[in-house]
Amino acid sequence: MDSKATEIEKTLGNTGEISIWKYQEVPLVSVVIPCYNQADFLAGAIKSARNQTYRHAEVIVVDDGSSDRTRDVALGFSDIRYIRQENQGLSAARNAGMRESRGHYIVFLDADDRLLPIALESGLKCLREHQECAFVFGSHKRIKSNGFFNQDLGTSLFRQMNYLRQHCSQNNHYHALLQRNYIEMHASVMYRNDVLKAAGGFNTSLKACEDYDLYLRIARNYPICFHDDVVAEYWQHDLNMSKNNELMLRSVLTVLQSQWKYVNENKKYIKAYRAGLKYYTEYYGIPLLKEVKKQLFVREERMHALRRMTTLIRYIPGIFAVCLVKKAKHLISKALKYLLPAFVFQRLHPTQASSVTIPPLGKVNFGDLHCLTPIQSECGSNLKTAIDRHFMSEFLARYAIDIQGSVLEIGSEVHATSLGGTEIKKSEMIHVKDANSDARVDTIDLINADRLSSNTYDCIIIPHQLQSIYEMKEALVTLYRILKPGGVLLATLPGISKKGKDEQSQKRLWSFTMLSARRLFEEIFPASHLTVESFGNVFAAVALMHGLRTTDLRPEELVYNDPLYQIVITVRVVKP
């Protein structure tokens, strides 16, 4: 391989998919981070933009006239570009970053959100496979304000793929977008910079939904594409703009109404346009009406209530009739539930989580699963396509930002270097010692680990190893001791699993639930510093028992999470 190709391979990361780039210039990607008085979040956003598997990128922070420590935080990073302007709003800040950007492609990341390490690589891969597209977009995760993954909402992938299957016929994204903004999170989008500039950037007259407006303007004239990688984290907190129902209602209906002149001669588009109006009327209008009802009973809030009522009457005067219809539908549905047999009611009201009608008991068709032995007996966690290994990787990718400084990885995997990137100063890997340990491999007995110095590591990764240790509590005492104060331990544990023939399964002594994992770790670490989650659902659990692999399942069947079926238990804990 020549020196040019070698340098490109280093830039793109070890993905094995660089052949078409071999003799092409490596494109620069610009990541623009607008920030207005969000200094407390900014450092995390910058770190996530710098910690990418694709290295050829520039990070631009646009300070929109902040009065907090935004400037100090930004200038604390020597390899970013910092721009300051008078406060002009989010759209103007993004446009300023766009004008200053030098990249072929551009991603916009809000200061209170995060990119996952594969974000840029995934976007570029999709764009080079679909070079006709003006932008591509992936999925995202929602993170609660306390840093915990919002398991109730999961990732956006399941919602997006279901919606696209139902509404995006013949890949007509403009038609689908008229009905709903299913892209949802702006940081999941990668634009072609030339198209973005030709479109005029963001509409500065909009105080919200400026991204939805841009999607519609571009999708009306150019093809766009969806890929199924989860590339960003949306952090939920009280300051999120989307929680302002009045602002969102005014903005989204203004955006939709601006499209009328382009759709009014196309019956298909008119139908989609009206579906969009109905959807957003209910999505923002109903909650806004509920807020008005509450405020009318509070003397100090009545002026706000009157203002919001004016908004409702101006934009959706039929909202009160809609409420009456919904109430009537609810009463009818409740009556049918009691009057009809359960299986008939289920056919009339299929669950939102699945497009498949649930058959009544006694009528289930097991198909290929109707057997007493597993379909595939040899599918241990050591295989890259194993379902439980997929969940392990998802967890570690989610918390890749914690993999920095001095890192210790326990086990035979190499997650640290692939996820931590340039943030790692020192990386070590050791194996848990047992009777069958290879003398040539560096091993450690976590019960008696005096050779490991105290307060040494910023991050310890221990994926699917603790289940092979009989004295787990003593092992955790060692891990606590060698972590630095403020250091992070990332662990995965088996939940629902089968006893396979692979070495890891043969050594397993324990299986876990979220409750048992929490009880175990709380004996050593403070409960307030502990996050315990799970991955899995009933379909993935059945597939795992049959030895099936991720390639046998659709992406949304892996993304959907049901805490009742805990295939992999994950633990993130910080030493105080």
Asked whether residue 186 falls in the same domain as residue 65, the answer is yes
Asked whether residue 484 falls in the same domain as residue 561, the answer is yes
Asked whether residue 165 falls in the same domain as residue 80, the answer is yes
Asked whether residue 213 falls in the same domain as residue 225, the answer is yes
> Does 349 fall in a domain?
no
CATH of the domain at 463: 3.40.50.150
> Does 365 fall in a domain?
no
Asked whether residue 409 falls in the same domain as residue 544, the answer is yes
Asked whether residue 104 falls in the same domain as residue 165, the answer is yes
Asked whether residue 218 falls in the same domain as residue 284, the answer is no
Count helices and strands (H / E) in the chain.
23, 15
- Give dist(CA 463, CA 381) in Å, integer: 11
Asked whether residue 189 falls in the same domain as residue 297, the answer is no
Q: Which amino acid is at 152?
A: D
Top pLDDT among 107 and 397 is at 107
Asked whether residue 207 falls in the same domain as residue 290, the answer is no
Asked whether residue 234 falls in the same domain as residue 282, the answer is no
User: Please, what is the Cα angle at 250 between 248 and 256, to 5 degrees?
Assistant: 95
pLDDT for res 357: 57
Domain boundary among 240, 266, 291: 240
Kind of pairing between the strands at 105-108 and 29-35: parallel
pLDDT in tens, 182-234: 888 889 999 999 999 998 999 999 888 899 999 999 999 999 998 888 899 88
> Does 363 fall in a domain?
no
Asked whether residue 44 falls in the same domain as residue 112, the answer is yes
> Does 348 fall in a domain?
no
* pLDDT surpassing 90 at residue 571: yes
Asked whether residue 181 falls in the same domain as residue 219, the answer is yes
> Does 326 fall in a domain?
no
> Does 213 fall in a domain?
yes
- Give dist(CA 525, CA 412) in Å, integer: 26
CATH of the domain at 164: 3.90.550.10
Query: The pTM is what?
Result: 0.59
Domain boundary among 193, 208, 240: 240
Domain coverage including residue 113: 11-240
Domain boundary among 173, 208, 240: 240
What's the distance, Cα to Cα, between the start and end of the chain in Å?
48
* pLDDT surpassing 60 at residue 505: yes
> Does 331 fall in a domain?
no
* pLDDT surpassing 60 at residue 123: yes
> Does 175 fall in a domain?
yes
CA distances 115 to 214, 354, 535, Å, are 21, 29, 21
Q: In what order do the strands lie in the sheet with 530-535?
A: 443-444, 424-432, 405-410, 457-463, 483-494, 568-574, 530-535
Taking alpha carbons only, the member of 472, 497, 484 closest to residue 547 is 497
Contacting residues for 258 by C-beta, under 8 A, at least 6 apart = 213
Range list of H helices, 111-244: 119-129, 157-167, 173-179, 193-198, 210-219
pLDDT in tens, 58-114: 999 999 999 999 999 999 998 899 999 999 999 999 999 999 999 999 999 999 899
What's the number of domains the chain is made of?
3
